[in-house]
A and B are shown apart, each in its own frame.
Chain A
Amino acid sequence: MRAFQFTLCTLLCLLLPAMAWAGFTETLPQGTFLFDIGYVHSVVENRWDDDGELVPLIDPIERYEPGAGKQGILVPQVRAELAMIAPQVYYGILDNLLFGFGVPIMLYSDVDPRFEWERGDYQWNLGRSYSEDDFWQWAGSMGQPEPQPWRGNEGTLGDVLLGLRFRYSDYWSWFDKHDMALAMMLIGALPTGTPPDPELVITAGTTSWDLHANGEFGIHLSYDKFFKKSLDNRLTLGFEVFYEFFFPREYESSTGEENPLMLTYRPYVGKRYTIDGGDFSGFSVQTDIVPWRGRARQTWLTRSNPDMAANLPPLLTLTLRYTFTHLQQTDWQSNSEIWDWEREKLWKPGYKNILFGQVAFSLLRLGIPLQPYVAYRNLTWIPGKNARAPNVLLAGTKAILKFW
């Protein structure tokens, strides 16, 4: 039986752009820390298939009885839910050089297989075709339990993310003069995540590959256009292109000890196999709109530098972003080309169309050094291809501290 072990998608990469106050090129003032604690709640029930159709996460699984045709078709209507907190710290090394890191900590992963059953051929020795109950009785008699809803990853780390953003256009006054900025961002993932348990049918890992929201090393080139004078700095337009790599990772194959019918791979796959995830590349366009700047009042935060009050972030910023992510083919390498292909065909080249919206409040102007925000990211509204389609709600707050 083809395994339908799978991993969850979520939106860790959402966190990195959030390090900016607005736009793709923003950094922190030198010596300033920004702490961000976010709660991420992701739900995925569908994926975009090779034809661009929104289909259940797992393909139907046809089951055969040796020499007696089709038992039926298992149709998993999997629903996966992930919750995590994502503490992040950013530091302004220079006014135009920002360093940040994030530590995703899973609160839980829930995966409910929600099997449905389509009856197959008539089985004369049963006097009927297999019902779903028949099928699991049959499977159980061969040592294969029915996969149950799974909860795990409680308190488990994902891959720690590091980021460095360098706004190099600061060295040319022409850009500032024309309300423009250019930046480059490098992100990298430390392999602190946990791969899925190979012996479980329903499970989820927490590595970057498993979450499939960002690569393990990425380069982003960004451009922002401000309208400081003409629109009173209430609008920022941004554009970014990126390339994110996945590096080959070794995984352990399943022996079938717990799921003999579904996961007996090791004799022909080998003890270990490699997944080289398909790299991401694409672009984002973004607009930040300031509908409410708020009054520049003097508070304890600005008493040492009264001019600073006017430069604090606006009370309310709306961010809208569209991201197109092209996905390259993912490559499995084991001792069995057949097994590899059965996985690779679900991870052919494809793309994601991601819509993102955020409402960010900045209370700095009120003398409170917090910036609460709520965001939503959607992958189901615009069709994609060969990609899972999680929808994510994110809420958190940032706090800025400067030790001087």
Chain B
Amino acid sequence: MLAASFTACNYGLLAEQPDYYEVMELYGTPYERGLQHGQKYANKIRSLFTMLLTSSIYPYLNREHLDVASVMLRYQEQEYMDGRFCSKMMTESAWALAEYIPDEYLQEMQGIADGAEMPFEEILILNTFFDTLMGFRSITFFIKLVQGPWLLTTEFLGGLNTDGQDNDGDGDIDEPDEGLADPYEPLWYASMVEVPTDTRIRFILDDDKEGVNPESIRIQLNETIYTADHPSIQTAPYARDGKTIEVIFTPPDGLPAASVVSIVLQCTDLLEIVRVPPHHPRSMRDERITFTTVGYGQKTWEVANRGYDDGRTQPPSLGFAVRGSATKTGDPMLGHNFAMLDSDTTHKHATLFMHHPDQGKAFAVVGYTGIVWGFSGMNEDGFTFLYNSSDTLNNSFTKGFNEGLIFARLLPSGLPVGMMGRELLAKSTTVNDGVTYLEETLPTFGWNFLLADAQGGITAVELDANILGRDEGWAFSYTPDTEDPENVDQWGQPYGSVGPDDLFMASHYQKNINEIDYEIAIFPVSPQRFWSSFYFRSVRAFYNLALQIKKHYGELDLGDMIAILSRNDLEDQRDSMNSVVYEPAKLKMHVAAGQVPPSDGDYEEFDLGQAIAEGGNQ
């Protein structure tokens, strides 16, 4: 009893977790708003900078230094040595991007720096590192992949030339090599249809250096995994003294009839890279191929390359907008899961910043301490944006490399994506305003924007940096309106809709699918689907999202939106940063942030209209 009485008292202080997600309203000029921001969150800004950049991203990217310096000689200079590479590269990139940032945002950053008593340069880096990181990462990932094994061809063996079917979807029936895909092309739809259930699949794999390691072959057939030691996998030298190999996969129990079947193929080469620890061979990206078996009855392009859960990857960022016939009330709504870089850090700094500017529209963004922008936001007119990254080599870093080659520096150009979001909120009332802005503003990298307005306008815009100066520009927009040929693919299918009042996207291009294709020196600079580690998981999440929207069509309300965003197959369980539902017509936001995954917590309502009414005059 005595012990119980001591324990029951629990007198004194009881520590509580500080709010990892907070709301702050800012007033006045850009500098004043920045100053308020910096003063309130000085220690959170410092901790985000240190925990995310200094202790995580900088050392992580420093490991790429030797690879980069072997190609770009400038980075062999002493000033980049001794662990300074990333910090210096980020700093140089930040100042290069500052040239494109409108003065009011620089003033706001200066206010943050003054308020937090931090150097302006650190705040500038915090506000530009995302663009730098994405561009840099795409180049280094691409270099790694082109140096690793590649899938050259796939072939379905077993009478496809005589089955009376157009198996490969090219419009011809039983032409020679009907079952052959040479060269192999990653697709978002089925590679083959109506293949026999006893078919075998033949892959040709090549590696530029030491050759493909036959023992590394790993095949996932639907949900079953087979490794090289399984009798269903036969390998043999094919060319180049065995560096190129042939793999024949015979599904042990045949294939299910009238079904969609998915194969994920993976392998490594025989090289052991010791320059960048941990020591490892170079890997081929997991390539996913979907096909149907005889009796399924659909065309290649009608079958999504969704695949099965591979247990290896998480869904990337995704967003969707619904309105009218898709929703219960007819009001527009947007949902967004942003996932990228939590690293057990970012969620502790989540903040909704409500701006009451001395001039212009009031607005709110869902962002982070020390950063003037967010991954989504809404203004007083109900105009709403959200964006996801979309890996591309059509970015400003590639442009720099293209122009300078071995003497190039990793200096980006264009307006950082976060500032594009801010500008959208400052200048847009309708989605048409937003589309016009995006068409006129050169981005640094590949981004997928989803725009909505209070009147029910919804538009997706896919961006790249247009480094080759294509006539069609860098912005590719589409809506659910299938009457407009701009909104449908070559087969007349909408790019990202299951009905007339929805639009969804993930972290890959649906319209801008051949955003770049040329060679730098000996390197083929390919579209994202050939190399991006996001691609197949993004396609999977995209089609999973489509299923959910379709399932709830006509009944979608706030609860359904949240339920969809909270699904494990649509929300990264590791690196999610925030999850938000917007109601543009009601000027309401519902934000889940401050934990990973975000949907583990409540979606806290923020009433933008009320905030404007109550606080706009302060």
Contacts and interface: CB of A to CB of B under 8 A. Distances in A.
Interface of A: 1, 62, 64-67, 69-70, 121-122, 124-128, 130-131, 133-135, 137-138, 140-144, 256, 260-261, 264-265, 267-268, 278-279, 281-283, 324, 326, 328-331, 335-341, 344-345, 347-349, 351, 353
B491 interface: no
A245 to B, nearest CB: 11
Contacts, number: 158
A127 B216 contact: yes
A218 to B, nearest CB: 15
Given A126-B280, A137-B279, A261 B55 contact: yes
B283 A126 contact: yes
Given A121-B574, A122-B312, A348-B14, A142 B344 contact: no
Contacts of B11: 328
B54 A324 contact: no
A131 B279 CA distance: 11
A329 B60 contact: no
B137 interface: yes
Interface centre among B2, B42, B340 (most CB of A within 10 A): B2
A244 B199 CA distance: 78
Given A267-B46, A326-B7, A341-B18, A140 B2 contact: no
A143 B43 contact: no
A328 B13 contact: yes
Nearest to A332: B15
A331 B47 CA distance: 19
B62 interface: yes
B137 A67 contact: yes
A351 B62 contact: no
B533 A135 contact: no
B144 to A, nearest CB: 6
A340 B13 CA distance: 14
Contacts of B14: 329, 348-349
Closest 7 CB pairs of A and B: A142-B59, A127-B283, A134-B278, A122-B312, A137-B277, A344-B15, A268-B46
Interface in B246-299: 266, 268, 276-283, 285-286
B179 to A, nearest CB: 28
B70 interface: no
B185 interface: no
A326 B574 contact: no
Nearest to A343: B15
B59 A261 contact: yes
B469 interface: no
B220 to A, nearest CB: 11
Contact of A268 (B16, B43, B533, B575): B43
Interface centre among B13, B20, B137, B216 (most CB of A within 10 A): B13
- B interface, how many residues as a size bin? 35 or more
A336 B48 CA distance: 11
A143 B56 contact: no
B60 A142 contact: yes
B266 A324 contact: no
B171 interface: no
B522 interface: no
Contacts of B277: 134, 137-138, 140-141
B55 A338 contact: no
12 contacts: A64-B344, A67-B340, A67-B575, A127-B266, A143-B83, A256-B55, A264-B50, A328-B11, A336-B43, A337-B43, A349-B10, A351-B7
B343 interface: yes
Contact of B343 (A64, A144, A335): A64
Contacts of A330: 15
B59 A143 contact: yes
A125 B141 CA distance: 8
Contacts of B200: none
Contacts of A144: 59
Given A124-B285, A339-B47, 8 more contacts: A64-B342, A66-B341, A127-B281, A264-B55, A268-B43, A336-B46, A338-B348, A345-B15
B283 A329 contact: no
A268 B47 contact: yes
Interface in B1-49: 2-3, 6-7, 9-18, 20, 42-44, 46-47, 49
Contacts of B60: 65-66, 142
Contacts of B62: 142
Contacts of A126: 278, 280, 283
B59 A267 contact: no
Nearest to B274: A137
B344 A324 contact: no
Contacts of A339: 47
A281 B6 contact: yes
B57 interface: yes
B409 interface: no
A142 B6 contact: no
Nearest to B286: A124
Given A264-B55, A278-B12, A64 B17 contact: no
A264 B55 CA distance: 7
B57 A124 contact: no
Contacts of B141: 125
Given A326-B6, A348-B15, A133 B574 contact: no
B63 interface: yes
Contacts of B314: 69, 121
A199 B172 CA distance: 70
B514 interface: no
A347 B14 CA distance: 10
B537 to A, nearest CB: 10
B568 interface: no
B278 A138 contact: yes
A66 B12 CA distance: 39
A331 B344 contact: no
Contacts of A282: 3, 6
B313 interface: yes
B535 to A, nearest CB: 11
Nearest to A267: B50
A70 B574 contact: yes
Given A64-B344, A137-B279, A326-B7, A267 B574 contact: no
Given A66-B57, A143-B59, A268-B50, A345 B283 contact: no
A264 B54 contact: yes
A351 B7 CA distance: 7
A326 B2 CA distance: 11
